[in-house]
Amino acid sequence: MFERVLSFLRDLPGGRGHDDAREEDPRVAASALLYHVMDADGVRQDVEWARFKAVLSKTYGVVGNELDALAKAGEAADNEAIDLYAFTSVLKRHLDADARKAFIGLMWEIVYADGELHELEDNVVWRVAELLDVERRDRIEARQKAAGGDVAGDD
């Protein structure tokens, strides 16, 4: 099922020749949210940046210059944003419930890239999950999976 979700995400429109609609591009919205959670604790480690780009590459089937452009577009969009709703509303319009759950899993992958969970990262994922209408149990399950299964408590 996860491969089906990844296939769906890869096939989303956007990015190619639509600079004026960048804020409506679900790939840019996803990149911005993934960047935001990576940067939430104020420390961007190389391992986090590498995982961020790997997730974008695998999810959207982009490499090289296209991957760099998507990563930079996500960073720029996050830096210009005033809230997370602008991005989550785009994803909510383009993703079904299973794809939204899978996206929360991708966020947790970014969070645990450095092997640590910072409370600000946890809070970002919680807020995004709420905005995407991802159930608490699904968010916790995705967190446990990304953490290797040994997560004590939640919320």
| 31 contacts 74 by C-beta, under 8 angstroms | yes
The tens digit of pLDDT for each residue in 12-67 reads 554 444 443 455 899 999 999 999 999 998 888 899 999 999 999 999 999 999 99
pLDDT value at 129 more than 90: yes
Q: In terms of DSSP H, where are the helices of the chain?
A: 2-10, 26-39, 46-60, 64-80, 85-94, 97-111, 119-131, 136-147
Q: How far is CA 130 from the centre of its chain?
A: 14
Q: How far is CA 69 from the centre of its chain?
A: 16
| 16 contacts 3 by C-beta, under 8 angstroms | no
Q: What is the pLDDT of residue 32?
A: 97
Q: Is 129 left (phi over 0), alpha (psi -120 to 50) or beta?
A: alpha
The span from the CA of 10 to the CA of 5, in Å, is 9
pLDDT value at 79 more than 70: yes
Residues 6+ apart with CB under 8 A from 137: none
pLDDT value at 145 more than 90: yes
The tens digit of pLDDT for each residue in 83-125 reads 999 999 999 999 999 999 999 999 999 999 999 899 999 999 9
